[in-house]
Amino acid sequence: MQDSGGQPTGGRSVDVRNLAGKWALVTGAASGIGKATALALARRGADVVLCDVDQKGLKITQDLAASLGRQTVARQVDVSRRDEMASFADEVHQDLEAIDILVNNAGVALGASFEETLLEDWDWIIGINLLGVIHGLHYFVPNMVARGRAGHVVNIASMAGLLAVRALSAYSTTKFAVVGLSEALRAELESHGIGVTAVCPGFVNTPLVESARMRGKAAEALARQEIVDFIERRQHTPERVAEKILRAIQRNRAIAPVFPEAWLGYYMKRFTPRLLAWALRKGSERAEKGTAQS
């Protein structure tokens, strides 16, 4: 068991210093955090199973992992589609009894207030961000349990899964759900020697923002570019997140905030929630005012 702050307090964990002979599966591996994590695992010796809807980007990641001398399997899969994930899992388990590390990373973003969010948007973001994680767990975790060896599950959530801000209603809903699911699953899998970590990055420079759906004010080209510019200035790369993920696996953390803003939000939510609410409100007001004046 470990405390809610993610401090390791016993139980088996996967030693990521040498992953030779281990298999890791990463969803959303064509770019961003998924790509960086897949390659970080490969550099530590893991063979990798990769999936993404972006076949071109997926092939690049696969080739890079193979160049490190690793065995690779890569398939074009939509994690929101139950039938595709079931077929993918059947194919993987024909050759492997079970994987050792599961990284449910595939995700999308939506910038919109609740009123601006269409029902179709809810279907889209829940399908990928939440059902995608559930499908990964449903089709791969039972084999990990049945095998009876130490393993680890990583679910990529977000700082937005720890605290909620304006114009991210749907996105935060899915990420809060991923955090809650991870905590519940961790309690269930502990006795099987399988750790579960919810990774909650702060602002990361990935293609996620540029490809996100935007509604209302957030849909304005200038507003989107301001977000992209802000994140680029932070210089928080997917590679840095990947290293934090490996550290979280090694330490068997329950919750792993990544970067100072995520840690600050995490602790403020726990100990000074009113101050956090005030700070988030003021920050949103300044951002909206700045966009209106531009």
First vs last C-alpha separation in the chain:
50
Contact call for residues 145 and 112 (beta carbons, < 8 A): no
Q: Which helix (H) or strand (E) holds 56?
A: helix 55-67
CB count in 10 Å sphere of residue 286: 10
Q: Is 227 exposed, middle or buried (0-12, 13-18, 19+ CB in 10 A)?
A: buried
- Cα–Cα dist 20/142, whole Å: 23
- Count of residues making up the chain: 294
**Residue 130 corresponds to which amino acid?**
L
Among the listed residues 177, 95, 188, the one whose alpha carbon sits nearest the alpha carbon of residue 141: 188
- Cα–Cα dist 97/285, whole Å: 52
List 139, 171, 266, 267, catalytic entry: 171
Active site residue 266: no
Alpha-carbon dihedral of residues 243, 248, 254, 255, nearest 10 degrees? -30
- Cα–Cα dist 198/254, whole Å: 6
Structure tokens at 68: 């490190």
Q: Is 282 exposed, middle or buried (0-12, 13-18, 19+ CB in 10 A)?
A: exposed
- With both helix axes pointing from N to C terminus, report the angle between 131-147 and 169-189 in degrees, rounded to the nearest 10: 10
CA-atom Rg of the chain in angstroms: 19
Catalytic positions: 171
